[in-house]
Amino acid sequence: MSPTFQLRINQIKLSQIYVSSAKLESVMRVFEEGNESILEPIPIKEIDGRLVATDGHTRLLAWFLNDYEEVDCEWEDTEMDWDAYRVCMQWCEEEGIQTVADLANRIISPQEYEILWLERCRIMQEDLEMKRS
């Protein structure tokens, strides 16, 4: 695990265009109970000169909704499919998602999340694999 560092929330670029309402409710309960210090840092990767959240979008939105301006982060040290992340970043740009504030209007039910986000990602990953073969 790499050491944590602070970033301004509005500096972090996103790689997700929706948040599940159920996941957000769960994280918001942590804040209501005053236990936000137990939340894991947001994993960050520099991709094409931008600091991108590779995970933790729900936590990031919860920090924002609770009026925090900075959040604990850590460098993403897992090797992942960075081409897939570039596609997701492009989707964010196409949807006008510049900062986590833009996700506040994109909270959807778990069923919608499964179809609109997870299924879309699965199809995109299959397409990338086919292009690579």
Backbone angles phi, psi at 2, to 5 degrees: -85, 160
Task: Tell me the β-bridge partners of 70.
Answer: 8
User: CA-CA distance, 121 to 13, in Å (whole number)?
Assistant: 18
Q: Confidence class of residue 1 from pLDDT cuts 50, 70 and 90?
A: low
CATH code of 5-132, in short, is 3.90.1530.10
Question: Each residue of 120-129: pLDDT tens digit?
Answer: 999 999 999 9
The domains of the chain are located at: 5-132
pLDDT over 90 (residue 21): yes
Per-residue model confidence as pLDDT tens digits over 22-49: 999 999 999 999 999 999 999 999 999 9
Beta bridge partners of 52: 13, 45
Q: Which two tokens stand for residue 21?
A: 């309402």
44: three-class secondary structure by DSSP: strand
**Per-residue confidence band for 10, with pLDDT thresholds at 50, 70 and 90:** very high
What would the pLDDT profile of 61-110 be if each residue is shown by its tens digit? 999 999 999 999 999 999 999 999 999 999 999 999 999 999 999 999 99
